[in-house]
Amino acid sequence: MSASRPAGESRIRYQPDETPPPALALGVGLQLAVLNIAAVMLIPMVVMRAAGASESYASWAVLASVTICGLTTMLQAVRAGRIGAGHVMVMGTSGAFIPACISALTQSGPATLASLVAVSALVPLVLAWRLSLFQRILTPTVSGTVLMLIPVTVMPAVSGMLADAPGDTSPAGVLSGFFITVVVIGCIALRATGTLRLWAPVIGVVIGSAIAGFFGLYDLERVAETSWIGVPRPRPPGLDLDFGPAFWTILPSFLLVAVVASIRTMSSAVAIQRVSWRRTRAVDFRAVQGAVAVDGVGNLLAGLAGTVPGSATTLSVSLTELTGVAARAVGIVAGGAFIAFVFLPKLLAVILAIPDPVFAGYLVVLLAMLFAIGLKVVLQGGLGYREGMVVGIAVLTGIGFQFGLIFPEQVSGFAGGLLANAMNAGGFAAILMSLFLRLTEARPSRIETDFDVSELPRIRDFLDEFVSRSGWDAAMAERLGAAAEEALLSLAREDRPDAEPGKAEKRRRLLLVAQKEKTGAVLEFIVAPRDENLQDRIALAGEDTDEAAIAREVSLRLLGHLASSVRHQQYHDTDIVTVHVQAPGQR
């Protein structure tokens, strides 16, 4: 039984802005690095093996991935300007990029892969720059569907890894290494709890390699001949700036997955904020923007190095909850530990010696996890009738095009085979259907004014017209008008205690969007950035006791009474306050 604690409190021992003892930061940071290093190394190795890349290029890709993940993990913790979340967020190589990277390597080679990864880095950079503009476009339905279609796209590569075993290899050894890896990882993941579950992939690969080694498939001699310490030699393939047909055919896959990877980083940035503070806080979307910006920086470095791009992992969330240590020093230690691993060539040799059947088994489990994550994303976004139709049609379209079940000759000849890929075909189908739903839904009412309390009469007239069109009575008009007034007063610059009297403020614009819903209305206020978070202020209203604080909280108390919910999203470029107001008589 856990000890009871006040609502909104957590067991956090050290918040991000606090300094833990060096020994504690070192211990937790090293634990985080050890738990993540295997996945960081295994994913680029899976890509290289499936694509038939050379051993020298594969070893460089692994070392480059580990180095980049270390640097970006440290950058997440440090938060340099608008880059970084300011939280413990471990960056790793992304399994979502596996099919696109394999296609790039097999069709055109490492230089084209490097160019595609570098160009795809623009996606998270643009999202980080203007995240507020994309909040309605990047729907869970689209991103979840793309994740669910990744296994469909990659499974042929798994078959190829099993079929391409050397001629003198025992079939029993291939099958044993593959199935033992799948069974061990699956059993541990299904039945184990806590830390043991986190080690499931490592345990499965070790046991699978041992079984494969019994049949002579594991190269122990290679591991024994490798030194413990060494300095890696950089082998970047360079960028292919010719931008041939293969580049344009594969580019949509990279852009689609870059969006999905960015959304996963956003989710991780939100999750780590929820477990990093003693008192529950509203999500700071400026930190989310910073986390996505690191995605872009890391992917640009991955492109220059010619390796697999990455995204944030969620493992740091679990470990933060477990240890109660959310201090930024932990992220710096974890990133530094990644970089230290680069100078241990024997560790790399252990990874390179793993047989293909074992890699194939690990990949199968990884693909199953990606499918489950995609399904979870779709369900979290709400799976109504329309969303179900979008997901169902998109998945069947992807499967049909991938396996030549729908106009195979026409599909293979269109745009260099662009749609002969489940992720591309299904992803585009999901996007088109989502855009259709977006364009055909009832358009909300909107008004744009100066952000000033003098505009209240005009705003009330706008809301009166909206109420009349929606068929509500005068009581709803009064409630909406009062809620809008209190929200505007709460956000106004004049209400800030640090505002200088008589000082001219920079004029800002307000966009007010009103939309009818089943039980009432949603008002969305979009204004320029500010320093306070309205959602936090409402949650804390009543806790301050000084007279000035009480005077500032009057509007917040009234707004909390009038609205059924208030959400404040802070971005670097804008603030969005969403107020839900129920119609009289509704529950």
Q: What ranges do the domains of the chain cover?
A: 22-156+228-355, 394-441, 445-494+507-582
Question: In what helix (H) or strand (E) does residue 237 lie, and over which residues does it extend?
Answer: none
Q: What are phi and psi of 447, to 5 degrees?
A: -145, 140
Q: Which of 382, 273, 276, 361 is nearest to 323 (CA)?
A: 276
From residue 187, alpha-carbon distances to 152, 366, 374, 488 in Å are 23, 14, 21, 55
**Strands 445-450 vs 509-516: parallel, antiparallel or unpaired:** antiparallel
Q: What is the pLDDT of residue 239?
A: 86
Task: Specify the CATH class of 445-494+507-582 in words.
Answer: alpha beta
Structure tokens at 437: 């739903």
Please report, in tens digits, the pLDDT of each residue of the chain (587 residues total).
334 344 444 577 888 888 888 888 888 888 778 767 777 887 888 888 888 888 889 888 988 999 999 999 999 998 888 888 888 888 988 877 888 898 889 888 899 999 999 999 999 998 888 776 666 666 777 777 877 887 787 777 677 767 766 556 677 778 888 889 889 888 887 887 666 766 777 788 889 888 888 887 777 777 777 778 777 777 888 888 888 888 888 888 888 888 878 877 887 787 788 778 887 776 777 888 899 999 999 999 999 999 999 888 766 776 777 677 888 998 999 999 889 888 888 877 777 777 878 878 887 887 787 788 778 778 876 777 788 888 889 888 888 887 777 776 666 655 445 566 777 778 778 878 888 887 777 778 888 888 888 888 999 999 999 888 888 888 888 888 888 888 888 777 444 444 444 444 556 788 888 888 777 888 888 886 555 565 665 555 555 445 444 444 555 566 666 777 777 777 776 777 888 888 776 55
Strand partners of residue 514: 445, 523
Predicted pLDDT of residue 416: 47
pLDDT given for residue 560 in this prediction: 65
How far is CA 71 from each of CA 91, 144, 499, rounded to the nearest angstrom? 9, 29, 39
Start-to-end Cα distance in the chain: 36
Vertex 13: Cα angle to 9 and 17 (nearest 5) = 95
Q: Which residues are CB-contacts of 29 (< 8 A; sequence separation ≥ 6)?
A: 329, 330, 331, 332, 333, 334, 336, 337
Instruction: Give me the residues paired with residue 576 across strands.
Output: 526, 569
Instruction: Give residue 316's Cα distance to chain centre.
Output: 13
Answer for the pair 146, 423: CB distance below 8 angstroms, yes or no: yes
Q: Are 395 and 371 in contact (CB under 8 A)?
A: no
Q: Report d(CA 414, CA 404) in Å as an integer.
A: 13
Instruction: Tell the burial category of 369 from Cβ atoms under 10 Å away from its Cβ (0-12, 13-18, 19+).
Output: middle
- In whole angstroms, what separates CA 384 from the centre of its chain? 23
Instruction: Annotate 310-330 with b (16+ C-beta within 10 A) or e (fewer).
Output: bbbbbbbbbbbbebbbbbbbb
- SS3 of residue 503 by DSSP: coil
Strand, coil or helix: 170: coil
Strand partners, 449: 510
Assign 520 to helix, strand or coil: strand
